[in-house]
Structure 1
Amino acid sequence: MTAILPTYKRFEVRVKQAYGTKIEDIEGKQYLDFGSGIGVCNLGHRHPDVQSAIEEQLNHYWHVSNLYYNPIQEDVAKLLTTNSVADYVFFCNSGAEANEAAIKLARKATEKTKIITFKQSFHGRTFATMSATGQEKIQVGFGPMLETFVYVPYNDLNAVIDAIDDETAAVMLELVQGEGGVIPAEASFVRELEKICREKSVVLIIDEIQTGMGRTGKRFAYEHFGIKPDILTLAKGLGNGLPVGAMLANEKFYDVFGPGSHGSTFGGNPLAMAAAKAVLNIVFNEEFLNHVQIKSDYLRSMLLEKISDLPIVKSIRGKGLMLGIECTKDISELIPQFIQNGLLVLVAGPTVIRLLPPLTVSKKEIDEAVRVIRDVLVDYK
């Protein structure tokens, strides 16, 4: 009997320890982790540099109020702004909180309330971010959503143009819809969308909670498109397992959030900052990112070679080490089979297998994962 509310459909894996790309259960069975804690452990479990940084910070202090200067926050903020188009950072604890901050900042800066998001998007589970999410299954049972969010079809520029009016504060966009099916944005759509936002004085918010921190082979996914978002949100891979989120904004927003207008008691926690600093020093290295791209190309090519001919496989899509295998039928029954065969994967809707391996994954581990995927899919009737 558990004392935990059943908010998750848990699988029969009882974790004892984790290291690198492997998770070990209490019975000693090992699993190759191609979910990375849902895109969190981008450097694998217990990366030595991250663990060492956390242990060092533990010996200094764990928490002080944000009413005082915390030098390690400044270090992390500088790394983020130096390596992005942003100028300032607000630290929080999660992706949902980062998106909440972005929504509040855009509304306060523009004095407008309408925000355009996209069907099949996912932005979080707080009330505002749930309202921003373009999936009814996330919203069902909670009563009326906030009415100032409007959902339009993904990759449809004309739909965005039609939705923009005098009350539009922002457009909020994932460059790869993760929970919505691992659907990449089209380059022409993203570039034209940026132009429209500039012409209409609409804030462009890019949700990089799952696509950021090297996941797509760039520091941030927006770099693939040559655009400059006004606001950027991060979490997941930023702390490699420690809870941390961040909202990044350009200089024109500096005076919008004055003292008392927004905050987070645990935002910028020193232990989370120590982890984030270690992560950034690794992930923002060009050689590291080049290796991510090489491995992502290899994973995609192996999937195309080994499984694209199977009747159940409809398409293989994504960007970097964020890939989806779209199937012709419901794959929920397959997940326990992957687990039984020692591979942990994710779903993105009823028919998409989502792969988010650590960015440190080896080619040998990719080969192992692809072999298991093929074995399971071949036998699925």
Structure 2
Amino acid sequence: MQVTRELFDEVMVPNYAPSSIIPVRGEGSRVWDQNDNELIDFAGGIAVNCLGHCHPALVAAVNEQASKIWHLSNVMTNEPALRLAKKLTDATFADQVYYANSGGESNEAALKLARRWALDNYGKEKDQIIAFKQGFHGRTFFTVTVGGQEAYSDGFGPKPGAIDHVAYNDLEALKALMSDKTCAVMMEPLQGEGGLVSPTDEFAKGVRELCDEHNALLIFDEVQTGFGRLGSFFAYMDLGVTPDILTSAKALGGGFPIGAMLTTKDIAKHLKPGTHGSTYGGNPLACAVGEAVMDIINTSDVLDGVKVKEAQIRAGFEAINAKYNVFSEIRGKGLLLGAVLNDEYQGRARDFMVASAENGLMALVAGANIVRFAPSLVIPEADIAEGLVRFEKAVAQIVNA
């Protein structure tokens, strides 16, 4: 069978519009397509491939576990799931872990848990969930409604109720909306899809204080920001704010599908047997990989290295902008960075992404006006330098067109 991009249009549901490039193998921070063209990966599978492609430790973990046992369902537990859960709880505020297969599923579990906790403790009137405009929390109907982007949630009929939104970093608006009916506030400790918006220190701490005041749970969606992406193991650790529930996925599996919801024992007890579940959640293969990822990521070498690499990319953005004047600002933190296009190039982020690929660089966008980079956390500095050379060629291509 000849596998081409045209085959996608024939056999795949058209909810995606992928690039014409079909990668077939990868190593480290580089991938090769069907024609053996090489690309440097600054996209990281949308902040998933935290250790690049085919990292030897992850390959070894998959191979070792694949020869033992693949799947059991949750009728029985398994050793990799328990080992990983123990490492996650030892490294965080949490006492207990629930496994899922994705960020959306982890967030679904968090939201259901918050509602059940409120019902058990305070009654059915305490059901309001507040989240933030331009947030993103997944694609299930519950999570996409909590996410603050109507373009993703409209057009599917009546939405789940008792969900409200305020602007990110607007503490006064949140304060005005909260009451004793609020059961949870859900936030990203840095908005990813919504434009790489960092929280102010006052905002992050203020949200925590308001939740305490109204007996509401604070849920941190760390699907994109967690596992070293911002330079700390989880982003909450740098903010000095501890959530009640935290969700993780993406980098947790380094490319293998896995998600996790972390919380305290007192909150977790409200998900009694039968109240929620997942056939594949806690799968031995996924957890074995997750354990290998965690052993590498949660080290000072990797986490400190993220900050060094961030400085290198920021300097590269600034040097390119000094020549071509296309960006108004650089946003983000760690290795989740975005260059905001200035007025002259508004709406053209995708053009920059396409031009990058034409020049041998995989990049991302965050909306129509931001070019986003989310490379491997262990990308060599030489690959960053070469990637920036290729990005400059892409910028020049657009500016001189």
Q: TM-score range by the shorter chain?
A: over 0.9
1:142 maps to what in 2?
156
Q: Name the CA shift for 1:104/1:308 in 2 (closer, same or farther; >3 Å).
A: farther
- Report the TM-score when normalising by structure 2: 0.93
What are the residue-to-residue correspondences of 1:39-50 with 2, within 5 Å? 39-50=47-58
Q: 1:367 aligns with which of 370, 382, 385?
A: 385
Contact 2:29 2:40 in 1 (8 A): yes
What are the residue-to-residue correspondences of 1:105-124 with 2, within 5 Å? 105-111=113-119, 112-124=126-138
Give deviations 1:155-190, integer Å, cap 9, x for gaps: 010111111123211000001111111111112210
Q: 2:274 aligns with which of 260, 266, 272?
A: 260
SS of equivalent to 1:317: strand
2:192 maps to what in 1?
178
Q: Distance in 2 between matches of 1:103 and 1:80?
A: 20
CA drift of 1:308 comes to 4.9
Counterpart of 1:181, as a letter, is G
Contact 1:209 1:235 in 2 (8 A): yes
Q: Distance in 2 between matches of 1:228 and 1:91?
A: 20
CA drift of 1:335 comes to 2.0
SS of equivalent to 2:58: helix
Which sections of structure 1, spanning at least 5 residues, go unmatched? none
Name the count of aligned residue pairs. Answer: 381
SS of equivalent to 1:117: strand
2:4 maps to what in 1?
none
Contact 1:307 1:374 in 2 (8 A): no
Which sections of structure 2, spanning at least 5 residues, go unmatched? 1-6, 120-125
Counterpart of 2:157, as a letter, is G
CA drift of 1:140 comes to 2.8
Q: Distance in 2 between matches of 1:301 and 1:347?
A: 19
1:133 maps to what in 2?
147
Q: 1:269 aligns with which of 260, 270, 283?
A: 283
CA drift of 1:154 comes to 0.4
Q: 2:369 aligns with which of 336, 341, 351?
A: 351
1:303 maps to what in 2?
317
Aligned: 1:341 with 2:349: no
Give deviations 1:241-276, integer Å, cap 9, x for gaps: 111000000122132011111110000111100100
CA drift of 1:378 comes to 3.2
2:38 maps to what in 1?
30
Counterpart of 1:66, as a letter, is N
1:74 maps to what in 2?
82
Q: 2:295 aligns with which of 281, 285, 291?
A: 281
Q: Distance in 2 between matches of 1:303 and 1:379?
A: 16
SS of equivalent to 2:193: coil
Q: Distance in 2 between matches of 1:326 and 1:320?
A: 16
CA drift of 1:310 comes to 3.3
Cα RMSD (Å) of the superposition? Answer: 1.2
CA drift of 1:4 comes to 0.9
Aligned: 1:61 with 2:79: no
Q: Distance in 2 between matches of 1:89 and 1:212?
A: 15
